[in-house]
């Protein structure tokens, strides 16, 4: 289901629900917990990469790869994303849309995305996390209740970019049982690097406070 578009971001009457938001960290079997005092750190290294053959750059749509929430969508977004900061934003948004939902992704899908999109040095395993049937809504949605994240009311913020490495924040709305919740919002932050295969994720970072991200972020041009 495609959620309805929202009014301009800075005029919203809603108050962000939940002071703590989590980012996927599988190595320790937990998600990072959002801490208001956390400040993003600057990237320190950039891997080598081949010249991009990706499409011409454009403002992030929040829909690259299509509006499905399956592994094929994530892999398509990776294949289509250009070697630009906007391309990194699109891949991060695709990963957020795919991973943060209930029911959680299947083990088969987790293995496909792990192999294509998660760098070995990231040190976490998607299949292991999803095997525990976790609630990835930052406790906004009761256990066992269907939900997914939508970029329709979403925003993005480029935290840092150094040509081959990008750190990206993605803010999303929460669709519960098919309806976009008027106040639930979630913040996620990833570090990505450019490789021969396109953008891949090397870390899930402690995210910005959600209300702060929606205050400073830029809206996606479409949203899914």
Give residue-wise pLDDT tens across range 125-175.
999 999 999 999 999 999 999 999 999 999 999 999 999 999 999 999 999
Give me the chain's average pLDDT, please: 81
- Is residue 127 domain-resident? yes
Query: Can you give the pLDDT at residue 48?
Result: 34
Asked whether the CA dihedral 193, 169, 19, 96 is positive or negative, the reply is negative
Q: How far apart are CA 126 and CA 47, in angstroms?
A: 23
> Is 80 exceeded by the pLDDT of residue 195?
yes
The answer to whether position 211 is within a domain reads yes
Q: What's the pTM value of the predicted model, to 2 decimals?
A: 0.77
* pLDDT at 57 (0 to 100): 75
Average pLDDT over residues 111-121: 96
Please report how many Cα atoms fall inside a 13 Å half-sphere around the Cα of residue 172, on the Cβ side: 36
Residues of the domain holding 67 = 9-32+59-219
pLDDT beyond 70 at 44: no
Determine, yes or no, domain membership for 167.
Answer: yes
pLDDT at 41 over 70: no
Q: Does any domain span residue 180?
A: yes
Domains in the chain: how many in total? Answer: 1
Predicted confidence (pLDDT) at residue 1 exceeds the cutoff of 60: no
Does residue 42 belong to any structural domain of this protein? Answer: no
- CA 64 – CA 27 distance, rounded (Å): 28
Other Cβ atoms closer than 10 A to 85 = 19
Q: Is 38 part of any domain?
A: no
172 assigned to some structural domain:
yes
Domain presence at residue 40: no
């Amino acid at each position: 289901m495609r959620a309805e578009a929202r009014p301009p971001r800075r005029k919203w009457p809603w108050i962000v629900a939940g002071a703590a938001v989590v980012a996927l960290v599988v190595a320790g079997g937990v998600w990072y917990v959002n801490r208001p005092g956390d400040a993003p750190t600057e990237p320190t290294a950039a891997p080598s990469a081949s010249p991009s053959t990706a499409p011409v750059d454009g403002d992030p749509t929040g829909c690259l790869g299509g509006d499905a929430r399956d592994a094929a969508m994530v892999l398509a977004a990776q294949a289509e994303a250009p070697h630009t900061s906007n391309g990194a934003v699109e891949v991060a948004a695709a990963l957020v849309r795919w991973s943060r939902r209930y029911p959680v992704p299947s083990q088969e899908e987790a293995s496909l995305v792990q192999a294509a999109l998660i760098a070995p040095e990231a040190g976490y395993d998607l299949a292991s996390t999803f095997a525990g049937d976790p609630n990835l809504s930052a406790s906004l949605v009761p256990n066992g209740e269907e939900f997914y994240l939508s970029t329709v009311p979403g925003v993005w913020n480029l935290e840092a970019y150094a040509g081959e490495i990008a750190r990206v924040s993605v803010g999303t709305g929460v669709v519960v049982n098919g309806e976009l919740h008027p106040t639930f919002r979630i913040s996620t932050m990833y570090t990505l690097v450019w490789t021969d295969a396109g953008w891949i994720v090397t870390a899930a970072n402690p995210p910005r406070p959600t209300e702060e991200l929606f205050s400073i972020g830029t809206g996606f041009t479409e949203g899914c």
